[in-house]
Chain A
């Protein structure tokens, strides 16, 4: 069952197109990573889901409810957190928590989370470090027993130990049947906790894959040195990307099936050849760059 269904969403700010006909779905009980370079449209997508801003075209449904029309209703089951979420400087953590609990209801889980996140709710927000503010913002997302967490770079500002604690909390949330949609720049984080990833670039969807598919995404880098001179046209005709070349050496990047390129290479007398795979990080970088 799709918890989030984004259909043909477009959004422009003046003449700048922020999102261009984006569609994707997030299944229940999964952690979906949302990746893309700065300005790709990640935060815009999240703001649209939360109905902070309105799409020019398309629709978003969450728990089968239209995110625009029934936003207040669906937010009862949604926890939201953003690294940019501003808190009231003159309120304490307790006041923030009480404000949320008054509207969304109390959660038994909160006490445990406060302990695990090592969060002191007594001081005013203006006295908290940026990391502690971030912890408080994360805590607020769990108020009211949400079934879906929408998080925009949730671990920015957290130290590595707390990041791991937070990943564990997210895993437990998922194991209890919850769904998480999480934007991030941290590829290590995505690899660690996500079941699937969506990559956007310049407002367009460029990949929507499970993590396993991403890992298996065969991108080969082939370094070839031949005895006779190389003809560039031989390689371009088999659809590989030429990274660099000179008279007898060429470096190629090949996606998927490499049999065609091996057949081409077979026409040459090979002096040296090396075939390597891109790391997961390099795959993401590839997707980022296009």
Chain B
């Protein structure tokens, strides 16, 4: 166990700079959102009128449930969590997953790991866990970071709403990361991981948007990950949907098992 934790620690240390940069960048973005919120709140009625003029289908497509800016949570639900935050989590999760196996094979450094008396499953697990820890830190910092920033800027907030978003967000990020690790187990270079996993997610996003545009396409939303993680709804209404945990949980389990299966059986020509 001690050796396994050493591997996790080493792997985590290897990629900590990118974690710090990502966290600081997103916190900077949140800071900007929160900092300009008071001026938006002053004109909330005007903005609300403007938003009501937007087509409902467009708002549905963007996952914006309550078209108002009269609370920080509704405002962040529209600005931060309707699209931007999901994209940042996807980028972070896929870049971590892509680097950990396919990236090491691409660079040739996987040879160092394979030269050691380590089972392939141990290599996979240590890299998986290190990435998952980094992802968890990223999600906690970027979601809960709003609370101290809002307090610092004397902006009203509902702490419970942000805390309530944490678990669904973790499951969403973890599922994306697990799918990324599956592709990282299969491919020999990071580019293919990003293109394949990213392509699937873009397709899912399009399907989710398409589902909201026409009633007879409504069923398409069930094949999209974005349907099961509607951050705005969770943030504004504190709605927890058990389906979110079920779908992402199943995705995590299947993708991880397939990833281990593939990585322990594949050729690694380094």
The answer to whether A and B interact is: yes
Interface residues of B in 233-270 (CB under 8 A from A): 265, 267-270
Q: Is the CB of A100 within 8 A of B116?
A: yes
A-B contacts at CB below 8 angstroms, number:
64
Contact of A87 with B119 in the complex, beta carbons under 8 Å = no
Q: Does A76 contact B (CB under 8 A)?
A: yes
Residue on B with the closest CB to A91?
B14
Given contacts A86-B107, A103-B6, contact A72 B119 (CB under 8 A): yes
- Decide if A76 touches B111 in the complex (CB within 8 Å): no
> A75 contacts which chain B residues (CB < 8 A)?
115-118
Complex interface bits, B118-144 against A, C-beta within 8 A gives 1, otherwise 0: 110010000000000000000000000
Given known contacts A85-B111, A88-B109, is B14 in contact with A52 (CB within 8 Å)? no
Contact call B116/A104, Cβ cutoff below 8 A: yes
Chain A, residues 48-60, CB within 8 Å of chain B (1/0): the string is 0011111000000
Contact A85 B115 (CB under 8 A): yes
B267 and A52 within 8 A (CB): yes
Q: Flag if A51 contacts B107 (CB, 8 Å).
A: no
Q: Name the A residues within 8 Å of B268 (CB-CB).
A: 52-53
A99 close to chain B: CB less than 8 A: yes
Write the nearest CB–CB distance from B162 to chain A, whole angstroms. Answer: 35
Query: Shortest distance in angstroms between A233's beta carbon and chain B's nearest beta carbon?
Result: 50
Within 8 A of A (CB), among B82-119: 107-109, 111-112, 114-119
Which single residue of chain B is at the shortest CB-CB distance from A77?
Answer: B117
Partner among B7, B14, B114 whose Cβ is within 8 Å of the Cβ of A51: B114
Indicate if the CB atoms of B112 and A103 lie closer than 8 Å. Answer: no
**Residue A172 interfacial (CB < 8 Å):** no
**Cα separation A242 to B260 with both chains bound (whole Å):** 58
A92 within 8 A of partner (CB): no
Q: Please, which residues of chain B bring their CB within 8 A of the CB of A96? A: 112
- Give the docked Cα–Cα distance between A50 and B107 (Å): 19
Q: Is B154 among interface residues, defined by CB-CB distance under 8 A?
A: no
Interface size class of A (residues with CB under 8 A): 20 to 34
Tell me whether A53 and B117 are in contact (CB under 8 A): no
B269 touches A99 (CB 8 A): no
Chain A residue nearest to B106 in the complex (CB): A86
Query: Chain B interface: which size bin?
Result: 20 to 34
B242 CB to closest chain A CB, in angstroms? Answer: 40
Chain A: CB-nearest residue to B114:
A52
Whether A86 contacts B117 by the Cβ 8 Å rule is no
B267 to chain A, nearest CB (A): 4
B10 within 8 A of A: yes
A87 touches B118 (CB 8 A): no
Q: Is A84 an interface residue (CB 8 A)?
A: yes
Query: Is there a chain B Cβ closer than 8 Å to A165's Cβ?
Result: no
Contacts of B3 in A (CB 8 A): 102-103
Would you call B267 and A87 a contact (CB within 8 A)?
no
CA distance A74 to B118 in the complex (A): 10
Q: Are B112 and A85 in contact (CB-based, < 8 A)? A: yes
On chain B, the residues within 8 Å of A74 by CB distance are 117
- Our pick among A82, A100, A103, A104 for the contact of B111 (Cβ within 8 Å) is A82
Chain A residues whose CB sits within 8 angstroms of the CB of B10 once the complex forms: 99, 102
Given that A86-B107, A88-B14 are known contacts, is A72 also in contact with B118, CB under 8 Å in the complex? yes
Q: Which residues of A contact B117 (CB under 8 A)?
A: 72-76, 103-104
Q: B269: shortest Cβ distance to chain A, in Å?
A: 6
A208–B46 CA distance with the chains assembled, in angstroms:
88
- In the complex, chain A residues 21-64 whose Cβ is within 8 Å of any chain B Cβ: 47, 50-54
Assess whether A166 is interfacial by the CB under 8 Å rule: no
Contact present for B108 and A84 (CB under 8 Å): yes
Q: How far is the CA of A51 from the CA of B116 in the complex (A)?
A: 11
Residue pair A80, B115 in contact (C-beta under 8 Å): yes
On chain B, the residues within 8 Å of A53 by CB distance are: 267-269
Bound-state Cα–Cα, A38 to B118, Å: 30
* CB–CB B111/A52 < 8 A: yes
Report which residue of A73, A74, A87 has the largest number of chain B beta carbons within 10 angstroms of its beta carbon. A87
Per-position binary interface string of chain A over residues 219-235, scored 1 when its CB falls under 8 Å from any chain B CB and 0 otherwise = 00000000000000000
Residue of A nearest to B7 (CB): A103
The answer to whether A86 and B109 touch (CB under 8 A), given A76-B117, A80-B115, A103-B6, is yes
Interchain residue pairs A-B with the least CB separation, the first 4: A86-B108, A53-B267, A75-B117, A80-B115
Interface residues of A (CB under 8 A from B): 47, 50-54, 71-76, 80, 82, 84-88, 96, 99-100, 102-104, 140
Given contacts A52-B269, A84-B108, A87-B109, 17 further A-B contacts (CB under 8 A): A50-B114, A50-B115, A52-B114, A52-B270, A53-B269, A54-B267, A71-B119, A72-B119, A73-B117, A75-B117, A84-B111, A85-B111, A86-B112, A96-B112, A99-B112, A103-B6, A103-B117
27 A–B contacts from the bound complex (CB under 8 Å): A50-B114, A50-B115, A51-B114, A52-B111, A52-B114, A52-B267, A53-B268, A54-B265, A54-B267, A72-B119, A73-B117, A74-B117, A75-B116, A75-B118, A76-B117, A85-B108, A85-B115, A86-B112, A88-B14, A99-B10, A99-B112, A102-B10, A103-B3, A103-B7, A104-B116, A104-B117, A140-B112
